[in-house]
Amino acid sequence: MTWDPAPLPEVAALFSRVRAPWWIAGGHAIELAVGHAFRPHADVDVLLLRRDQAAVQEALRSWEWWAADPPGTLRPWRPGEVLPPGIDDVWCRPSASAPWRIQVMLDESEGNEWVSRRNADVRREIALFGTVSPDGVPYLAPEVQLFAKAAGTRPKDEQDFAAVLPVLDGPRRRWLAEALAKTYGEHPWLDRL
């Protein structure tokens, strides 16, 4: 399965048509928080709340959508189909002959709060869930993105943690430390926060 990740300006232009909140996620979100690129990326992730999933299909009607159902297996995501919890990733491309360009991730929410899929006790006000780059690109708050990466840290996750740690202020560090402790008990990042 060939990937040719869309550049962030292209993603921002495409998703500007989405009538719901969305955020750049993954390693790109960390780089937006740091203010510069520092490693290669195999894909580009965009996060939406599950309740807003129809908005992305409406905004990019001509694109192909493939749901990871079960994870590791792709199947077409039909227009208007509601993806239930457990189907959290969707691969997107402009046509059947094009490479994959964007991965859309769906996350849970209740009212005005984001709710972690890993631990429903870990929540964040949606108003504080992300921020916006100087170029106007919304991205996931770095502490929330690090929490998502903390489940099974890979070398790139360690690199992202080390790069963004200097820009995390006290409240962001506290939120991340509390979320990690609540979810994992012990975690190697806790001592560094």
Q: Can you give the residue ranges of every domain in the chain?
A: 8-141
**What is the per-residue pLDDT across 49-69, written as a single tens digit (0 to 9) for each?**
999 999 999 999 999 999 998
Q: What is the pLDDT of residues 61-117, one digit of tens each?
A: 999 999 998 777 999 999 999 999 999 999 999 999 999 999 999 999 999 999 999
The amino acid present at 144, given as its one-letter code, is V
Q: Which of 109, 15, 4 lies closest to 55, judged by CA? A: 15
User: 0.85 exceeded by the pTM?
Assistant: yes
Q: For the structural domain made of 8-141, what CATH number should be given?
A: 3.30.460.40
Calculate the alpha carbon distances from 142 to 62, 91, 92, 148 in Å: 32, 23, 24, 10
C-alpha 99 chain-centroid distance: 20
Q: What whole-number distance in Å separates Cα of residue 54 and Cα of residue 169? A: 35
